[in-house]
Amino acid sequence: MANLDTNSEVHSADVLILGAGLAGYIVANRVKELNPELSVLLVEKSTAGWSGSKANKGAGVMWVMEEKDDVGKFRDYYSAHHGHGLEDQELLEKVCGTTLEMVGHLERWGVNVAREADGSLARSNLLPLWALCAFDLDILMKLRKVATKYGVKSVDKTQVVELLTQGNRVVGAVGFDITDGTFRTFKAKAVVNATGSCCWMVSNMWSSARGDGIAAAWRAGAKMRNGEFSNFYNLGLRGNQAAMVGSQYALYNADNEWIAKRYCPDFETDVDLGIILGMEKEVRDGKGPISFEETELFYNNPLAVGDFLFRWNRPNAKKFWQRLWEGEGKYNSDRSWRPEVIPMFIGECSPVMTDHDMRSSLEGMWVLGDTNRSGAGWAGAVPPPSRIRGSGLTWASVSALLGSKSLADYAAGASDPVIDEDQVARFREALYAPMGRDRGLDVRESIFRLQEVISPPRYSARKSAGRIGESLARVDEVLHEVDEVTPGGDWHVLGLCHDLKNMAQCAEIYFTSALARTESRGWHYREDFPQRDDATWRKWVDVELRDGKAVVSTTPLPFERFKTPAVVDPWFYETMYEAIR
Ligand SMILES: Cc1cc2nc3c(=O)[nH]c(=O)nc-3n(C[C@H](O)[C@H](O)[C@H](O)COP(=O)(O)OP(=O)(O)OC[C@H]3O[C@@H](n4cnc5c(N)ncnc54)[C@H](O)[C@@H]3O)c2cc1C
């Protein structure tokens, strides 16, 4: 049996930030600027400013609304084609109106945002209603420098496992050091949950997103919203999982038929569910595998990989992506290059519900970035990245900016937290329980069993009550396995045991919400309810844990305050869903 006689540490701060990703760093810096007197502490599972965060791994492309971009037109377009009438239009407008401010803060903090020689923002000009701009991948190192100057403290290699509560208020967290097992208690007047989304460890580059903070918030009683939109698929190369962004126009079936004609004949700003369902149908019809061959449409697409990644002067991003593509040998103009392309499951469960100031349903807890991207409601019936590349980085930054003022004010006026030592003791015992097992199940096998009912298109692209039921039953089995997995005395694997529980609970949120929405809308396609039903379902599905059970409720959208009326995109419901039957 492993030695469980671990050290203990207690840390206190006015503002405790869980997760040192882009959202975590921006809110840390902003809170210090708004009120330098507040002590701010970042807790990071990996190394703050370096690993863990997705911003370092990404393409660095961000969505910006410049002055010349018409927010009203964008909102109308977004509602019809992306949000499908489920978007919070007021928050959507607020986000649009904050993107230029975001660029200003980033540049002020030393981030290299690409600009043209005349000083204007470098943007991809091919998109009609919004701008795609970019920064380089050293962004977190720049933000960390500023945070250090401001006196923000950080604790690394610490996996936060549970939130501490005082009634309905969140007053801290507990976790452990993934290198030596040290038990850490964190006390705070205000807590920011910026631990990221859940992607269920299916695709390598997204595997840092294991839903830790979402599941901890779920266990603490926080409300979740839009969990049914946790099902993003990228187009990816079989083998190295490189994303083939924009490649929907370059896909052929085994009979050499160009399949975009059937599944995405219109201009698509990003991967839509139609092409994912279509690829699966071709394979089911015996016309697989699907392969990639460049077409003019592909080249003319603003998201085509060459333009998207290499256009701007960003030395770090260039090095990162070139290395990835070198593995494939000849990404370029060789039209005989025909690799197999698959629907690559990403996931992106991000359901923690927040208001427009990023306050959760639990007092004292703000939620930002990938943790609340669906839960905040602005995106509507589409999983992240909302069919707008660049919205991940932008939302992480903008949500941090939108939340920082109310957070700083609250922390300045809040009473000292009262820690329930019994709760700490209970959490501590449960946290180390797997280490006490000499024998048990292999946690990696349990994770694989969970992935089997999440990633295949028949579970996450086309859903039905029957298959959602199968998924929920498997999730339940996996949740029971949580009490039997053993880390074999390894602190890192202890972390994986907690990841298993967190990912299973995120799956429970996802499938419970998906079962409740008995219609099809945007990226939520139910074979048993193929029509969009505005009369019944222009509502958000909310789920929360009550007495150990997932309880579903609905909240009507305040659409009487919205400027864009609900418009049904006929192609989507009458043509696309027909085509894949
Ligand atoms: C390969 C790739 C390419 C991408 N490209 C783009 C792009 O070009 N444009 C775009 O807009 N978006 C892109 N994205 C998405 C974008 O990177 C994210 O939306 C954004 O970075 C999210 O930031 P965040 O701070 O909310 O979350 P994260 O970056 O996920 O940060 C969360 C942090 O919390 C830490 N953490 C997690 N659990 C715990 C715990 N239990 N205890 C303590 N700490 C914890 C993590 O280690 C991490 O550092 C890409 C993502 C990937 C993976």
- Phi, psi at residue 415, to the nearest 5°? -75, 165
Q: Please report the pLDDT score of residue 321 as a whole number.
A: 73
Q: Please report the pLDDT score of residue 505 as a whole number.
A: 98
Residue 53 Cα, ligand 1 centroid: separation in angstroms? 4
Confidence of residue 337 (pLDDT cuts 50, 70, 90): low
- Shared domain check, 342 and 460: no
Residue 61 Cα, ligand 1 centroid: separation in angstroms? 13
Q: Which atom of ligand 1 is nearest to the CA of 46?
A: 47
Alpha carbons within 13 angstroms on the beta-carbon side of residue 382 total 25
The whole-chain average pLDDT of the chain stands at 91
Q: What is d(CA 352, CA 542) in angstroms, rounded to the nearest whole number?
A: 10
- Shared domain check, 341 and 464: no
Strand 525-526 to strand 462-463: parallel, antiparallel, or no bridges (unpaired)?
parallel
Angle at 271 between CA 135 and CA 341, to 5 degrees: 100
Q: Which atom of ligand 1 is nearest to the CA of 216?
A: 41
Q: Please report the pLDDT score of residue 296 as a whole number.
A: 60
Q: Which amino acid is at 85?
A: G
Confidence of residue 126 (pLDDT cuts 50, 70, 90): low
- Phi, psi at residue 224, to the nearest 5°? -115, 145
Which letter does DSSP use for residue 16 in this model? Answer: E
Confidence of residue 214 (pLDDT cuts 50, 70, 90): very high
Taking 50 as the threshold, does the pLDDT of residue 5 lie above it?
yes
pLDDT in tens, 427-462: 999 999 999 998 999 999 999 999 999 999 999 999
- Shared domain check, 548 and 447: yes
* Three-state secondary structure call for residue 211: coil
Pocket test for ligand 1, best of 30, 42, 53, 182 (most atoms within 8 A of CB): 53
Chain centre to alpha carbon of residue 482: 24
pLDDT in tens, 340-389: 899 999 999 999 999 999 999 999 999 999 999 999 999 999 999 988 98
- Which CATH number covers residue 453? 1.20.58.100
As a three-state string, the secondary structure of 398-439 is HHHHHHHHHHHHHHHHCCCCCCCHHHHHHHHHHHHHHHHCCC
Q: Is position 321 within any domain?
A: yes
Residue nearest to atom 27 of ligand 1 (CA): 196
Q: Is position 279 within any domain?
A: yes
Q: What is d(CA 143, CA 27) in angstroms, rounded to the nearest whole number?
A: 11
Q: Is position 563 within any domain?
A: yes
Q: Are 320 and 137 in contact (CB under 8 A)?
A: yes
Where is the domain boundary, 317, 346, 375? 346
Q: Is position 247 within any domain?
A: yes
CB atoms within 10 A of CB 48: 29
Q: Are 419 and 173 in contact (CB under 8 A)?
A: no
- Shared domain check, 449 and 341: no
Q: Please report the pLDDT score of residue 502 as a whole number.
A: 98
* Residue 323 vs residue 500, higher pLDDT: 500
Q: Which atom of ligand 1 is nearest to the CA of 209?
A: 30
Structural domain span for residue 312: 235-346
Residue nearest to atom 11 of ligand 1 (CA): 390
Beta bridge partners of 252: 258, 291
Q: Is position 368 within any domain?
A: no
Number of domains in the chain: 2
Q: What is the DSSP track for 448-505?
A: HHHHTTTSSHHHHTEE-HHHHHHHHHHHHHHHHHTTTB--TT-HHHHHHHHHHHHHHH
Where is the domain boundary, 287, 313, 346? 346
Q: Please report the pLDDT score of residue 268 as a whole number.
A: 74
Q: What is d(CA 482, CA 8) in angstroms, rounded to the nearest whole number?
A: 25
Q: Please report the pLDDT score of residue 142 as a whole number.
A: 96
Tokens found for residue 461:
């692209």
Confidence of residue 315 (pLDDT cuts 50, 70, 90): confident
Average the pLDDT over 186-202 and give the result.
98
- Shared domain check, 441 and 342: no
Residue 431 Cα, ligand 1 centroid: separation in angstroms? 25
Q: Is position 372 within any domain?
A: no
Residue 576 Cα, ligand 1 centroid: separation in angstroms? 32
Q: Is position 114 within any domain?
A: no
- Shared domain check, 559 and 452: yes
Residue 59 Cα, ligand 1 centroid: separation in angstroms? 12
Q: Is position 532 within any domain?
A: yes
Alpha carbons within 13 angstroms on the beta-carbon side of residue 253 total 20
Q: Please report the pLDDT score of residue 400 as a whole number.
A: 98
Where is the domain boundary, 346, 373, 405? 346
pLDDT in tens, 267-279: 778 888 999 999 9
Q: Please report the pLDDT score of residue 576 as a whole number.
A: 58
Q: Please report the pLDDT score of residue 4 as a whole number.
A: 62
Tokens 């967290």 identify what position?
173
- Which CATH number covers residue 318? 3.90.700
Residue 196 Cα, ligand 1 centroid: separation in angstroms? 6
